[in-house]
Structure 1
Amino acid sequence: MKSHSSTLLAEVRSFRQNHPDVRYVDLIALDIPGHFYGKRYPVEMLEKVAAGSPLKLPQNAVLLGAQGGLFKIGDYCFNDGDPDANRRLVPGTLKPVTWESQPLGQMLITSDGTQAPIEFEPREVLAKVLERLQHQGIHPVVAFELEFYLFDKQLDNGLPQFARDPLSGDADDQPNLHIERLSRFNDVLDDMAQTAKDQGLDITVITAEIGPGQFEINFGHCDDGLRAADWAALFCRSTRGVALKHGYRASFMAKPYLQFPGSGMHVHVSLYDAAGNNLLAAHQQQPLRHAVAGCLELLPHCMPIFSPNHNAFRRLGGTVNAATRASWGFEDRDACVRIPDSDPRNLRIEHRLASADANPYLVLAAILAGLEHGLEAKREPIAPLNEDRNSGADFPLEMLDAVRAMQQQPVLRDKLGAEFVDVYCENKRQDHLAFQQEIQAREYRWFL
C-alpha cells in the first residue's frame, strides 16, 4: 500500500512540475449510462489524496440516468441516506486537458480495488470478470474500435447539421469511404489523434466511414482489459472536446441519421495462457467454437448493455453491417461475432454488435462473460453465416423486452453479479419510461 501511494505521489508531483500552470484536476469516473461524473480538485489537494488521504464521492452518482436524474432502485438513492463511497486514483491516468480554455488536468478514479467496491460500478464489474479469468489462467488481449460522426457546431431547431467541408465550405453530405475526406478534415482529426496520444491512449488507424462526416478510430491491442476500456472511455471525452474547439460537434450516438449507417463499438478479444499461447487456437480451434457458442448464447440477454438506449435499437438491422440476429462467421461483417482472418497466434473474435455510445467497461465484461461461459459449457455453435445465410438466433429489439431477458438470465447474474444486473436493468427500465414521458410534435401531427 505504501509503495502504491509512493507511485501515485511521484506521478502527481511529476505532473505538477511538468504543468505548473494547471491549478485544478478533474477526478472522473464513468456512470452506468456511460457519462463521466466526478469532482474538480485543486492540484495541491490531489497530492494529499495521492499520499493517502481519503477520496469519497456519493455512491449513487453511479446510478444517474441518461439525463442525470436519480431513479428509485431498491433502497438506493432515496432510502439509503445517499452514502459516500471510497474511490481511488487510477495510476497512469493523470494527464493534461488541452481542449479547455484554461489549463486543466484530469485523472480517472474508481471504486475497484478499494475496501468496499461499489458492486454496480461499471469498472468494478469488469475488474471482477478479469480477476476471475486471471485465476483460471486466462489473459485477454483487447482492442476497441469506435465509430463517430462530426456535425456542425450549430444545431437547426435542435437537429444536427452536416459538418462543413473545411475546403469547400459545403455540407459534407455525401456518404463515402474516400481517403480525401481524411485530408479535408485533417486539422480536427489530427488534433483528436494527438490529444488522444497525449492522454496516453494507443490509437492506430483512422478511417473515413460510409456515413457523411463519419469516422472510425482503432486502438492498439492491450493486454490489460481495464486499460483498454479506459482508453475507449477517455477517447470519447477528449474527442467531443476537441471537436468543439474546431467548430464541430462529435457524437458517438448510435443512429443519428435513419438513412445512413449507425456508429458501432467493435471489440477484438483474444485469450492467452500465462506462457503466451493463444487458447482459442488450441485443438484445431475447438475452444474458439466453444467461445463463440457462449457469446451467442448470452448475447440476447446482454442487449441492454450492447444497445443501452432507445436510439441504439434503431441501429440494428440498418443499412450496413448491423445484424438483427445473433450470428457468427469467418471474415463476415454481417455477423455479430466475426472471426477475422489471422494466423493462430493472433486468432480472435471481433464482437460487432455494441453501439458506439455503449459503456465500454460493461460491453467488454459482457463479451468476456460469454467467452468464459462458452469455454466452460463446451457447446458447438450454430452454423456460421458462411455456411448458412439464415443462421442466427433472435434477440430483443426493444428495451423493455431486453431488460426482461437480461434480468432473469442465471449465467449472466452469476458472471456479472446479481446486484449489478438488478440495478442496471432497473436503471434502463426507468430511463426508457422517462423517455416516453415527453410528447413529441409528431404525436400531435398524428393524433390531435
Structure 2
Amino acid sequence: MKSHSSTLLAEVRSFRQNHPDVHYVDLIALDIPGHFYGKRYPMEMLEKVAAGSPLKLPQNAVLLGVQGGLFKIGDYCFNDGDPDANRRLVPGTLKPVNWESQPLGQMLITSDGTEAPIEFEPREVLAKVLERLQHQGIHPVVAFELEFYLFDKQLENGLPQFARDPLCGDADDQPNLHIERLSRFSDVLDDMAQTAKDQGIDITVITAEIGPGQFEINFGHCDDGLRAADWAALFCRSTRGVALNHGYRASFMAKPYLQFPGSGMHVHVSLYDAAGNNLLAAHQQQPLRHAVAGCLELLPHCMPIFSPNHNAFRRLGGTVNAATRASWGFEDRDACVRIPESDPRNLRIEHRLASADANPYLVLAAILVGLEHGLEAKREPIAPLNEDRNSGTDFPVEMLDAVRAMQQQPILRDKLGAEFVEVYCENKRQDHLAFQQEIHAREYRWFL
C-alpha cells in the first residue's frame, strides 16, 4: 500500500510540475446509466489523497437515474442514511482537460480495490469478472469501437439538426461512407483524436459511417480490460467537449434518426493463457464455438445492459447491420457475434449488439461472462448465418421484458453478482417507467 501511495503521489507531483496553471482536478467515476459523477478537487487536496488521505463520496451516487434522480431500490437511497463509501484514485489516469475554458485536470476514481467495494458499481462489476478469469488463467485482450453522430450545436424545438459541412456550410444530410467527409470534418475529428491521445487513449482508425454526420473511432487492442473500458468511457466525455468547441454537438445516442443507422459499441475480445497462446484457437477452434454458444445463450438475458434505454431498443433491426435475433457468423456484420477473418494468433469475437450509449464496463463484463460460461458448458452453437440466414434465437425488444429476463437468470446472478443484478434491473425498470410519465403531442393527435 505504501508503494502504491508513493506511485500516486509521484504522479500527482509530476502533473503539478508539468501543468502549473491547473488548480483543480475533476475526480470522476461512471454511474449505472453511464454518466460521470464526482467532485472537483483543489490540487493541494488531491496530493493529500494521493498520499493516503481518505476519499469518500456518497455510495448512492452510483444509483442515479438517467436524469440524475434517485430511485428507491431495496433499502438504498431512502432507508440507508445515504452513506459515504470509500473511493481510490486510478493510477495513470490523471490527465489535462483541454476542452474547458479554464485549465483543468481529470482523474478516474473507483471503489474497486478498496476495503468495501460497492457491489453495483460498474467498474467493480467488471473488475470482479476479470479477477475471476485471471484465477482461471484466462487473460482477455479487448478493443472497443464507438460510433457517434455530430449535430449542429443548436437544437431546433428540442430536435437535433444536421451538422453543417465546414467546406460549403450546407447540412451534411446525405448518408454515405465517402472518405471526403473525413477531410471536410478533419478539424473537429483531428482534435477529438488528439484530445483522446492526451487522455492516454490509444486511438487508431477513424471512419466516416453511413449516417449523415456519423463517424466511428476505433481503439487499440488492450491487454487490460479495465483500461480498455476506461478508454471508452473517457473518450465519450472528451469527444462531447471537443465537439462543442467546434460548434457541434456530439452524441452517442443509439438511434437519433429513425431513417438512418443507429450508433453501436462494437467490442473485440480474444482470450489468451499466461504463455500468450490464443485459447479460442486451440483444438481446431472448438473453444471458439463453445464461447460463441455461451454468448448467445446469455445474450437475451443481458439486453438491459446492451440496450440500456428506450431509444436503444429502436436501433435493433434497423436499416444497417443491427441484428434482430441472437446470431453469429464468420465475417458477417448482420450477426450479433461476428468472427472476423484473422490468423490463429489474433482469433477473436466481435460483439456488435450493444448501443454506443451503453455502459462500457458492464458491456464488457456481460460479454466476458458469456464467453466464460461457454467455455465451461462446452456446448455447440446454433448454425452460423453463413449456413442459415434464418438462424438465431429471439431476445426481448422492450425494456420491461428485458429486465424480467435478466433478473431471473441464475448464471448472471452468480457471475455478475446477485446484488448488482437486482440493483441494475430495478434502476432500469424505474427509469423506463419514469420516461413514460409524459404524454407526447402525437398521443393527443391520435387519441384526443
Partner residue of 1:10? 10
How big is each residue's C-alpha offset from its partner over 1:156-206, in whole Å with a ceiling of 9 and x where there is no partner?
100000000000000000000000000000000000000000000001000
Partner residue of 2:267? 267
1:439 Cα deviation from its structure 2 partner: 1.1
How big is each residue's C-alpha offset from its partner over 1:263-289, in whole Å with a ceiling of 9 and x where there is no partner?
000000000000000000000000000
How big is each residue's C-alpha offset from its partner over 1:377-397, in whole Å with a ceiling of 9 and x where there is no partner?
000000000000000000000
Distance between the aligned counterparts of 1:264 and 1:284, measured in 2?
A: 31
1:310 Cα deviation from its structure 2 partner: 0.1
* Secondary structure, aligned partner of 1:366: helix
1:117 Cα deviation from its structure 2 partner: 0.1
Q: Which moved more, 1:436-445 or 1:236-245?
A: 436-445
Distance between the aligned counterparts of 1:366 and 1:115, measured in 2?
A: 25
Distance between the aligned counterparts of 2:247 and 2:391, measured in 1?
A: 45
1:29 Cα deviation from its structure 2 partner: 0.1
Distance between the aligned counterparts of 2:91 and 2:324, measured in 1?
A: 40
1:443 Cα deviation from its structure 2 partner: 1.1
How big is each residue's C-alpha offset from its partner over 1:123-142, in whole Å with a ceiling of 9 and x where there is no partner?
00000000000000000000
Partner residue of 2:65? 65
How big is each residue's C-alpha offset from its partner over 1:66-113, in whole Å with a ceiling of 9 and x where there is no partner?
000000000000000000000000000000000000000000000000
* Secondary structure, aligned partner of 1:66: coil
1:42 Cα deviation from its structure 2 partner: 0.3
Distance between the aligned counterparts of 2:283 and 2:257, measured in 1?
A: 45
Identity of aligned residues (%): 96
Q: Give runs of aligned pairs for residues 365-444 of structure 1, distance below 5 A.
A: 365-444=365-444
Distance between the aligned counterparts of 1:14 and 1:239, measured in 2?
A: 26
How big is each residue's C-alpha offset from its partner over 1:2-61, in whole Å with a ceiling of 9 and x where there is no partner?
000000000000000000000100000000000000000001100000000000000000
How big is each residue's C-alpha offset from its partner over 1:341-364, in whole Å with a ceiling of 9 and x where there is no partner?
000000000000000000000000
How big is each residue's C-alpha offset from its partner over 1:389-439, in whole Å with a ceiling of 9 and x where there is no partner?
000000000000000000000001011000000000000000000000011
* Secondary structure, aligned partner of 1:319: coil
1:215 Cα deviation from its structure 2 partner: 0.1
* Secondary structure, aligned partner of 1:147: strand
* Secondary structure, aligned partner of 2:243: helix
* Secondary structure, aligned partner of 2:93: coil
Distance between the aligned counterparts of 2:443 and 2:389, measured in 1?
A: 39
Distance between the aligned counterparts of 1:114 and 1:444, measured in 2?
A: 52
How big is each residue's C-alpha offset from its partner over 1:280-299, in whole Å with a ceiling of 9 and x where there is no partner?
00000000000000000000
Distance between the aligned counterparts of 2:237 and 2:438, measured in 1?
A: 28
Distance between the aligned counterparts of 2:445 and 2:192, measured in 1?
A: 42
* Secondary structure, aligned partner of 2:128: helix
Q: Give runs of aligned pairs for residues 331-370 of structure 1, distance below 5 A.
A: 331-370=331-370
Distance between the aligned counterparts of 1:427 and 1:442, measured in 2?
A: 28
Unaligned runs of 5+ in 2: none
1:441 Cα deviation from its structure 2 partner: 1.1
Distance between the aligned counterparts of 2:439 and 2:85, measured in 1?
A: 38
* Secondary structure, aligned partner of 1:326: coil
Partner residue of 2:110? 110
Distance between the aligned counterparts of 2:249 and 2:342, measured in 1?
A: 36
Q: When the two structures are superposed, what TM-score results if normalisation uses the length of structure 2?
A: 1.00
* Secondary structure, aligned partner of 1:333: coil
Q: When the two structures are superposed, what TM-score results if normalisation uses the length of structure 1?
A: 1.00
Distance between the aligned counterparts of 1:325 and 1:76, measured in 2?
A: 35
Distance between the aligned counterparts of 1:113 and 1:237, measured in 2?
A: 24
1:116 Cα deviation from its structure 2 partner: 0.1
Distance between the aligned counterparts of 2:225 and 2:337, measured in 1?
A: 19
Distance between the aligned counterparts of 1:155 and 1:43, measured in 2?
A: 37
1:231 Cα deviation from its structure 2 partner: 0.1
Distance between the aligned counterparts of 1:442 and 1:124, measured in 2?
A: 42
* Secondary structure, aligned partner of 2:376: helix
Distance between the aligned counterparts of 2:306 and 2:112, measured in 1?
A: 22
* Secondary structure, aligned partner of 2:38: strand
Distance between the aligned counterparts of 2:107 and 2:142, measured in 1?
A: 22
How big is each residue's C-alpha offset from its partner over 1:189-244, in whole Å with a ceiling of 9 and x where there is no partner?
00000000000000100000000000000000000000000000000000000000
* Secondary structure, aligned partner of 1:420: helix
Distance between the aligned counterparts of 1:440 and 1:434, measured in 2?
A: 14
RMSD: 0.3
Distance between the aligned counterparts of 1:30 and 1:359, measured in 2?
A: 8
1:445 Cα deviation from its structure 2 partner: 1.1
Distance between the aligned counterparts of 2:397 and 2:135, measured in 1?
A: 36
* Secondary structure, aligned partner of 2:188: helix
Distance between the aligned counterparts of 1:144 and 1:439, measured in 2?
A: 37
Distance between the aligned counterparts of 1:388 and 1:415, measured in 2?
A: 32
* Secondary structure, aligned partner of 1:56: strand
1:365 Cα deviation from its structure 2 partner: 0.0
1:447 Cα deviation from its structure 2 partner: 1.4
Distance between the aligned counterparts of 1:412 and 1:380, measured in 2?
A: 20
1:442 Cα deviation from its structure 2 partner: 1.0
* Secondary structure, aligned partner of 1:87: strand
1:444 Cα deviation from its structure 2 partner: 1.3
1:248 Cα deviation from its structure 2 partner: 0.2
* Secondary structure, aligned partner of 2:433: helix
Partner residue of 2:205? 205
Distance between the aligned counterparts of 1:3 and 1:417, measured in 2?
A: 31
